[in-house]
Structure 1
Amino acid sequence: MVNTGLPIVPISTAVATTAVPGPTTNLHIGMDYWGSPASSTIPAMRGKVPPTPVAGGIVTPASRDSVQSQIWLQDERELKRQRRKQSNRESARRSRLRKQAECDELAQRAEVLKEDNANLRSEANRIKSEYEQLLAENTSLKERLKEIPGHEDLNSSRNDQDTNNDKQTEHVQGSQ
């Protein structure tokens, strides 16, 4: 912080200027603060507050307020930037979690569908084997019926039905 409570007192030079000339030195360090018109040799801070010209080298409360307001604006921008970055991180995390949940749900659904498919295949195989067993039993019963005397007249009417049954059998076996 700058202490502006000290008054600037001019110093009179009553001493003779017959001093021995020596090497020139850079004694203007800090003189821009104390009112010297010499330019500042202090490099500006990078990425911070831009230098603001001050009239006559004196820091006034108004110029200090403008510097502080610039610092405050930069801090406010930095805070907004940080909040935005954090918000984006959280949004990305939520998005990843949603995708993971969707993937897990689809994997569960795939497992259920695989189980259903296996159950349906086993049911179809069971029905097919039952059908083949009944077909064999039917053929066996027909053969036995042919062996019994006196049922020939029934056989002729049943042969028409057998032809229809055989067509149905071919249709069922062809669709599998």
Structure 2
Amino acid sequence: MAHSEDPDKVIDGIKTRKEIDLPAAIVACQDALEQYPDEARFHYQLGAALYYHASAGDVDAALNNLRAASDRGYRQATFVLGYIYSLNDKVPQDLCRTGHLWQRTLSQGHPWSKFWFAKHQLNGSFKNCSFYVSRADIDRYVMSFAALDLDESAERRTDELIALLKETRAEEARARANGNN
């Protein structure tokens, strides 16, 4: 069950959850983990399948598997954990945790972390968090994401992110001109 945007996938990924037989994927991942219990990719795939298929009890198992994959260095798992904590869907929203997780994947070169981290930072989602992100870092994330050769979806996201960056910088300039730092 490879995600199409997983930079470390070993096969072509799927585009939508509708393409997945989740119960079969869960069984296949569990079988794979029985044979290879330390394989981070299998923990990630099981965690993702459980989360997508989640009933109340499966969420904890999903998060545990995603954390196991993340702890083993699987950057897509770390990214997805951050994404889950950004949603306020099946777990309480924790944007600071999201930011910390995405900072980790930024340092690992995860391509979509550049987009989502920059977007959340520019939207002010991380304003109450304990980490500092410079304007230069955000500019670098935006420009490096724009330089990636991804898919059509990424091109639309790039346009969205550049527009948000320009809007944010214009607001900052107006605030400085009005003496509001």
Q: TM-score, normalised by structure 2?
A: 0.24
- RCO greater where, 1 or 2, for CA within 8 Å and sep 6 or more? 2
Structure with larger Rg: 1
Q: TM-score, normalised by structure 1?
A: 0.24
